[in-house]
Amino acid sequence: MIEARGLSKRYGDLVAVADVSFSVQPGEVVGFLGPNGAGKTTTMRMLTGFLPPTDGSAVVDGHDIFGDPLAARRAIGYLPESPPVYPEMSVEGYLGYVAKLKDVPRAQRRAAVDRALERCGLANVRRRVIGALSKGYRQRVGLAQAIVHDPPVMIFDEPTVGLDPTQIREIRTLIGELANARDGKARTVILSTHILPEVEAICRRVIIMHRGRKALDAPIEELRKTGSLEEVFARTTAGDVPVEPAA
């Protein structure tokens, strides 16, 4: 479903991401971990087509991000670190607009918006203006825009940051539901976060990034044998994995 091959991003001499390869199968939920500045967001941005990689490539749902960027982007639902919402729009107006941008056919648009509102618990605020919503609700609107076109691949960048514990639980449950929707379609989720219990709760596999490189890629089950996720994380990100400067 997602196939990253040697993704690299350099800004002059600064290496943000170096030679990251991984593949994610349909139906997998992968936790994307790493300290701040490890290159998580940059990697996600390369997968979503926001930033082109300096080197390497990726295939999303069978579409190469260079060869057929529009088809690759159509297959992705992406929630950036801060929800990309227009404060002056109403919740349903905004989701309708995103549905148009994501090529949801006109006849299905209403149903798609209703479904996204329903799943993200936004039905009771559908006519409210986004700017007047609480942070938790705004985050849900961000999630709703990522799923409105029912994409096979979903990429969430720190979806629970800045929320209170109740909201975090709600969002977490929601993401779990999204990945395991009971309609027989396999969906892939990549989720970046700093909250380790969150990963243990919804992911079956973790990728840990450190200093722009992939430092670990293993199923959670396997990691549990060697200690808690927290210990694994500390061990993996403590070592000095040197990143050679760009040639």
* DSSP secondary structure letter of residue 90: B
Q: Which helix (H) or strand (E) holds 173?
A: helix 165-179
Using CB under 8 A as the binding rule, the residues of this chain from 8 to 37 that contact other proteins are 11
Asked if 82 touches other proteins (CB under 8 A), the answer is yes
Nearest alpha carbon to residue 156 among 166, 146, 164, 168: 146
Distance, in Å, from the CA atom of 152 to the CA atom of 187, rounded to the nearest integer, reads 5
Q: Which is nearer to other proteins, 76 or 199 (CB)?
A: 76
| Residue 60 identity | V
* Shortest spacing between CB 5 and other proteins, in angstroms: 19
Asked if 40 touches other proteins (CB under 8 A), the answer is no
Binds other proteins (CB under 8 A): choice among 27, 56, 64, 97: 97
Q: Are strands 76-79 and 205-210 parallel, antiparallel or unpaired?
A: unpaired
Q: Are strands 2-11 and 55-60 parallel, antiparallel or unpaired?
A: antiparallel
φ, ψ of residue 8 in degrees (nearest 5) = -135, 145
> By the 8 A CB rule, do 112 and 104 touch?
yes
> By the 8 A CB rule, do 149 and 112 touch?
yes
* Shortest spacing between CB 81 and other proteins, in angstroms: 8
| Residue 96 identity | G
Binds other proteins (CB under 8 A): choice among 66, 100, 173, 231: 100
Asked if 48 touches other proteins (CB under 8 A), the answer is yes
Asked if 73 touches other proteins (CB under 8 A), the answer is yes
**Of the ranges 65-73, 165-173, 191-199, 208-216, which one interacts with other proteins (CB under 8 A)?**
65-73
Binds other proteins (CB under 8 A): choice among 86, 108, 111, 181: 86
Asked if 88 touches other proteins (CB under 8 A), the answer is yes
What is the three-class DSSP state of 159? coil
Binds other proteins (CB under 8 A): choice among 3, 5, 51, 217: 51
Binds other proteins (CB under 8 A): choice among 14, 21, 103, 226: 103
- The residues binding other proteins (CB under 8 A) are 11, 45, 48-52, 70-71, 73-74, 76, 78, 80, 82-89, 97-98, 100-103, 145
